[in-house]
Amino acid sequence: MIGAGAAGLLAAWELLREGHAPVVVFERAAAVGGTWRYDDAASADPLCAGGVHGSLYASLRTNLPRKCMGFLDFPFLPVPGDPRRFPGHRQMLRYLEDFARWFDLLRLVRLEMEVVGVRRRGASSWTVSYRSSKLAGAGCDGLEDEVFDAVDVCNGHFTEPRLVDIPRNCSIHLT
């Protein structure tokens, strides 16, 4: 599994439930939660020079009610004192962390491991190349390879900021 956000955690749990083992989840960040892990400092960077989460902002609430955001076997219950139906990003992150703890998924997650490549190996296996995300860009290769029967890519749409390329000679007129 590549990614320990909502999709990666849920897919890992389903594989375990169906008796598949071993299940390994690679997560580039230092904790689970994926796009729901908000960083005030990174998100305030207008030039996107840091680890910007373009999908989150400080006051973000989901556009779906809690009942729709939760998983079937793990209800997304309201936070005491906050009856609002649409949870904020902090509640969503806490829900995913609680889900991972409740179903003992954290033992499967290799934190701060960045997958840099996946190659088919024969008819029924895949080689995953990864390294510590602390080493990325440090001039140190540190690559390791591991073979798996299957690979599930769950890194989502928001792993990298998508910046608009505006030509220097472009002028914008607001009316």
Q: Identify the pLDDT of residue 102.
A: 98
Q: CA-CA distance, 24 to 21, in Å (whole number)?
A: 9
Q: CA-CA distance, 67 to 37, in Å (whole number)?
A: 21
Q: CA-CA distance, 57 to 62, in Å (whole number)?
A: 11
Q: Identify the pLDDT of residue 80.
A: 87
Q: CA-CA distance, 95 to 76, in Å (whole number)?
A: 7
The pLDDT tens digits of the residues spanning 77-119 come to 988 888 889 999 999 999 999 999 999 999 999 999 999 999 9
Q: Is the peptide bond before 22 cis (omega within 30 degrees of 0)?
A: yes
For the domain covering 6-148, report its CATH number: 3.50.50.60
Question: Which pair of tokens denotes residue 118?
Answer: 């996946």
Residue spans per domain, the chain: 6-148
Q: Identify the pLDDT of residue 81.
A: 87
Q: CA-CA distance, 130 to 87, in Å (whole number)?
A: 34
Strand ranges (E), the chain: 25-27, 109-111, 113-121, 125-132, 144-148
- Digitized pLDDT (tens) for each residue of the chain, 175 residues in all: 999 999 999 999 999 999 998 999 999 999 999 989 987 776 555 555 555 556 788 899 999 999 999 999 999 998 888 888 999 999 999 999 999 999 999 999 999 999 999 999 999 999 999 999 887 665 667 899 999 999 999 987 766 666 667 677 666 666 5
Q: CA-CA distance, 39 to 6, in Å (whole number)?
A: 18
